Amino acid sequence: MEISLKVKKALVGGSSKGIGEAIARQLAESGASVTLMARNEERMKSIVSQLNTDEGQKHQYLVVDFSNFDTFKSTISSFFEHNTIDILVNNTQGPEGGGALEKNVDDYQNAFDLLFKSVVYTTELALKHMQKNRWGRIINVASVSVKEPLSYLALSNTIRAAVVTWAKSLAYDVAKDGITVNSVLTGYFDTDRIAQINSKKAEKMGIPEEEVRSSMEDLIPAKRIGKPEEYGYLATFLASDQAAYITGTNIPIDGGLLKSL
């Protein structure tokens, strides 16, 4: 099976590194014109210069601050005044780690703005063209913690669960328009985010980071942490015509980590 996204335009959040970058690179390899969206302008500029252009694609980047919803709202609104997209990958940096007793109501509000409001607002803007064109793909980068909450990620557990239930509701409403909405439940991947979480756990437990990573790998039936490019393959399939009948799903990509059905 060959996936072609030629003439499709994609907007990928959090794409200056990690999973977002891997998704952007694979979408470009499959022929899409990609707009990167993140905070690090220099990094995005470098990635854009490396993306595939064999299919005549035109890539660009958009500097945003997901952690400030008001400025994000202004920036993304301006973008959609002059651009349309066919594929939206909703992905932001994660909120600070920590257990439920370590967080207060303001922490939850900030996480809500970061993980939920930015996703819903961007999707609303993107849907106008998708519905008019009767084709669209919305892919939400979520977490396995919406099924099996992780005690040290209370904010992420809570708000990402809201995202996937919203996505399920949206999928029902837009399926008739040829638009699919799917959420990917992310397991452990070799990214800066995992490195930061492991570093904090190691410090809290008073053990080496290598020991924390090894323990993490032991939890995974595949006995390894995922490669970001593997995530890119799944996202690209979900963005394709071949995945037109897949919508409203929560798809784990976790090496078998989840124990629940």
Task: Just list the catalytic residues.
Answer: 152
Cα(95)–Cα(144) distance, integer angstroms: 15
Counting every residue, how long is the chain?
A: 261
